[in-house]
Amino acid sequence: MATRVLLAEPRGFCAGVEMAIKALTWMVRVFEAPVYCYHEIVHNAAVVEIFERAGVVFVDDITTVPEGGVVMLSAHGSGPEVVSQATSSAAVMVDAVCPLVTKVHHEVKRAAANGFDILYVGHEGHDEALGAIAQAPESVTLVDPDRGLAGFAPADPGKVALLAQTTLGQFEWQGVLDDAQTQYADVRTSRKSDLCYATTNRQRAVEILSQEATLVLVVGSENSSNTQALVRVARNAGITAHRIDGPDDIEPGWLEGHDVIGVSAGASAPDQRVQSVVAQLRADNGVEVVRLTQEDEYFPLPPALRKLIHALQALVEGAYASSQPGRPGPIDEDRDWGATEALEILSS
């Protein structure tokens, strides 16, 4: 077993995941099952399982949702056709897209409207990449960071825009950016790249762990892009790294010869899983939190959900003649609870 564990901070849930999990929790508390969710609400098997037990049906084809159903769209963002189909056929539709993904959607639409050929750096088939490309498919070419710009031939080399999935590895993004700037001197890109604060903070924290640890374990699911990026960041630093869903995935042989083990988690991994992993490692010389920064980002619940809950509150208050305009309701106290608590409530 490890003699010392270094625990990355920040790790785990980001503001977008917090918002999406709490939003879907509201949906299953307010509506009878089934509540449909287009794509996994976040890419974590444990979270998805909790919601399935609470009556959520996850679908990858929005047309399979019955007319008049109750639908939430996932945090990864959806294409315009999906949003329009869900809006027209569902009785209730709430889009839980992360605002930082929406920002990239706006960039894609703006660049396409201005006649740019868009290079979108991302992972083929990933939900976020599908939703972003669908904003202007005729103008976007997907660039896999491993393959680079090979085969891309813009109509006008002076009008190329470079955008990205929010959860890429910083080093992967930098590699494509360098190539693009070499090939297209006027390439347009966002001022600070599209990689989100949660992605970059978690990666920098793993880089710091990797200066001392000789093994890094990253908690998160296989289809979680930012989890996989954390594994690659550690390996890039020359460290042995494994992705695990929880303590049961740790193979005893992995720990042999490693006195200092780093632990982190992707943005959709529940901290309860992380704590179980740390407990399993039984560190003789303790657990040290390695803090890069304290995150205080907060994303409000989707506007459609806030409106819905306020309407329900007004209805109930009206029925009991207890309405006091302006009185705060449960939705106004959203900052006071977190996604971890929401999952505990659903699991109890």
Q: List active site positions.
A: 128
Phi–psi pair at 73, nearest 5 degrees: -100, 145
At how many degrees (to 10) do helices 170-183 and 225-236 cross? 80
Which is closer to ligand SF4, CB of 295 or CB of 317?
295
Residues 264 to 293: which contact ligand SF4 by CB under 6 A?
A: 267
Of the candidate residues 17, 62, 244, 308, the single one contacting ligand SF4 (CB under 6 A): 17
How far does the chain reach from its first CA to its final CA, in angstroms? 32
Q: Is 165 among the residues that bind ligand SF4 (CB under 6 A)?
A: no
Q: Is 130 among the residues that bind ligand SF4 (CB under 6 A)?
A: no
Q: Is 100 among the residues that bind ligand SF4 (CB under 6 A)?
A: yes
Q: Is 168 among the residues that bind ligand SF4 (CB under 6 A)?
A: no
Q: Is 206 among the residues that bind ligand SF4 (CB under 6 A)?
A: no
Of the candidate residues 85, 166, 203, 224, the single one contacting ligand SF4 (CB under 6 A): 166
Contact window for ligand SF4 (CB under 6 A) among 3-11, 95-103, 214-222, 307-315? 95-103
Of the candidate residues 74, 78, 135, 167, the single one contacting ligand SF4 (CB under 6 A): 167
**Cβ pair 245, 221 in contact under 8 A:** yes
CA atoms within 13 A of residue 200's CA, in its CB half-sphere: 11
- What residues contact 226, with CB distance under 8 A and at least 6 apart? 167, 198, 199, 202, 220, 266, 267, 268
Q: Is 228 among the residues that bind ligand SF4 (CB under 6 A)?
A: no
- What residues contact 318, with CB distance under 8 A and at least 6 apart? none
Residue type, 291: R
Size of the site for ligand SF4 (CB under 6 A): 15
d(C-alpha 40, C-alpha 47), whole Å: 9
Q: Is 209 among the residues that bind ligand SF4 (CB under 6 A)?
A: no
The residues binding ligand SF4 (CB under 6 A) are 14-17, 75, 98, 100-101, 166-167, 196, 198-199, 226, 267
